[in-house]
Amino acid sequence: MAKISNKLVTKQMSWHANMTEMNHLGASLHARPEVFESKMAQLFSSKRYFSDNSLTSSLVASGREKEIATTEWEWSLKTASTKPLVVLENLSGTSYPGKGRTNFKLKLSENWFVTGDVIHPGTSNKKYQCRVQEQPYRQGNGWVYTLRLMDDNIASFVPVIHLGVGTQWAKLFSMYEEAAEQSGSTQYSLPITLKNRLSRLRKKYRVTGDASTEVLAVGIPDSNGVMHKSWIKYAEVEYWQQYYRELERSYWYSRSTDTVLGANGRPVFNGPGIQEQLEDSHRETYSHLTTELIEEYLMDIFYSRVAPGSQRHIKAFTGEYGMLLFHRAVQDWMNKSGFVKIVEDFSVNKTKSQYHDNAWQAGYQFTKYSMANGSTLELVHLPLYDDREINFEIDPLTGYPTESMRFTFLDFSGEKQDSNILKVKKKGGMSLIYVGGMVSPFGPVTNTGLASHAGDYYEMHVKDQCGIHIQDVSRCGELILKRN
């Protein structure tokens, strides 16, 4: 099989007789959208035509896409197998519970522990281990446990601070006597079901008969690597650029709605974008970015969930000023670390200049940070966060949009449709129509012809249903600038 180039060949040219309806890109998209829709996404998210779609480009290029037949989808997320219980009431009736090798009572939130289970209040020295001596019984809003401190010292007791309302007790293991008939408890994780939905996007444009007749020739590779020449109105290029920009915005900023009504009285069902989905993730604020802050923040995400090593890889989407803050943070760490630096070997190089025959250049930029325990952080520039057309909140210290300093951490672990993050679209959900008048997408109507209206223009309308799926938002998060 021939190797397919990832660069689409394009050139601007004047109207020509060979530019027929048969090889018109828009007509091809209309006839076989399942084939040409992805090619349109590649074309208008490519470097030459549209570099603002960091997320779309990444998902399309890596095959992280999923097609569904409905407008909503559900998935299950496994929760932790074990978790601590919460103290609802101290029923010990003494300031020295457990002293004198006596039993004491404690009301906990669930009926999970059984006789023989050894539980403790989570202290670092594990000193206050207590065995459940009797089966718990229901009392009001909780369950009463009879406990005995695992200590032979007659003077030992459990400090009452560990029996206060809201404190937590967790199981360590289960212990029994010889010839015992009882056995310890087993907790099962109960997966939770989550649901998301697609958003419906529409966009149109109108071209008059006097508009530019220049067209754009495009080479589209098929599965065998053969290039097929097609063409598109130059006016449509601007349309598609704006369309994919709006699509990228919806992936990040869309807000879920059920009650907003459209012009025909039907509700505008909208799905959540990335930022809304991450509201329940690890979202923190910062005023000064440092490598220590980044490491401790990522530790909150990975700690006790992902073993130290190569699996701790995450991408941070940020604006241009965020990239500068990241560079300064890593550079400051380098300057203060005390390690011998060898950056001089690659930061100063000879260059060409019209001002001097022995010109040199200096400088470097940190875009990736390898931390302890195998964690790596890679920056991805997100032009959307720099867009002054939609970001009006300006940071008073820098004079740039505050959004440019937002860091959105996304975990892309998994391959293709098993990825933690997927682009989701409805099967057959994309539609494209032309509404022609005295002029059509393929030229003016000559002699006698049929038209949908009498105007000297034609319109194009596009509808699509798509959204973003995040399997586990707890593996993602955000650092948001907030000045004190």
300: alpha, beta or left, given left = phi > 0 and alpha = psi -120 to 50? alpha
Neighbours of 271 (CB within 10 A): 27
- Looking at residue 227, its pLDDT comes to 65
Over range 469-478, report the average pLDDT.
88
Taking only the tens place, the pLDDT of each residue in 128-142 is 999 999 999 999 999
CA torsion sign, 24 to 30 to 36 to 37? Answer: positive
Residue 281: band (very low, low, confident or very high) from pLDDT cuts 50, 70, 90: confident
Task: Determine the Cα–Cα distance for residues 285 and 49; give it in Å rounded to an integer.
Answer: 35
Task: Choose the weakest-confidence range: 189-203, 289-303, 405-419.
Answer: 189-203
Residue 19: band (very low, low, confident or very high) from pLDDT cuts 50, 70, 90: very low
C-beta separation of 124 from 70 below 8 A: no
- Looking at residue 3, its pLDDT comes to 37
Residue 125: band (very low, low, confident or very high) from pLDDT cuts 50, 70, 90: confident
Over range 222-244, report the average pLDDT.
66
Query: What's the distance, CA 221 to chain centroid?
Result: 30
Higher-confidence position of 260 and 18: 260
pLDDT over 90, % of the chain = 26
Task: Determine the Cα–Cα distance for residues 352 and 347; give it in Å rounded to an integer.
Answer: 16
- Looking at residue 49, its pLDDT comes to 36
What lies within 8 Å, CB to CB, of 290 at 6+ separation is 329, 332, 333
Query: What's the distance, CA 54 to chain centroid?
Result: 12
- Looking at residue 289, its pLDDT comes to 92
C-beta separation of 11 from 234 below 8 A: no
* Amino acid, res. 188: Y
Over range 323-332, report the average pLDDT.
91
CA atoms within 13 A on the CB side of 471: 20
User: Which two tokens mark 302?
Assistant: 């990975």
Nearest to 191 by CA among 415, 472, 475: 472
User: Is the pLDDT at 11 greater than 70, yes or no?
Assistant: no
Q: What is the mean pLDDT of the chain?
A: 79
Complete edge-to-edge strand list for the sheet that includes strand 477-481: 282-286, 477-481, 407-410, 313-318, 376-381, 368-370
Over range 344-371, report the average pLDDT.
78
Residue 154: band (very low, low, confident or very high) from pLDDT cuts 50, 70, 90: very high
Q: Name the helix (H) or strand (E) containing 433.
A: strand 431-435
Q: Name the helix (H) or strand (E) containing 88.
A: strand 85-90
pLDDT over 70, % of the chain = 75
Higher-confidence position of 447 and 34: 447
Task: Determine the Cα–Cα distance for residues 25 and 20; give it in Å rounded to an integer.
Answer: 10
Taking only the tens place, the pLDDT of each residue in 376-421 is 888 999 998 998 888 999 999 999 999 999 999 988 877 777 888 8
Task: Determine the Cα–Cα distance for residues 231 and 24; give it in Å rounded to an integer.
Answer: 5
Task: Determine the Cα–Cα distance for residues 386 and 403; give it in Å rounded to an integer.
Answer: 7
User: Is the pLDDT at 473 greater than 50, yes or no?
Assistant: yes
- Looking at residue 77, its pLDDT comes to 67
Residue listed under structure tokens 């002293």: 99
Q: Report pTM.
A: 0.69
Q: What DSSP state is assigned to residue 185?
A: -
- Looking at residue 355, its pLDDT comes to 81
Over range 61-88, report the average pLDDT.
77
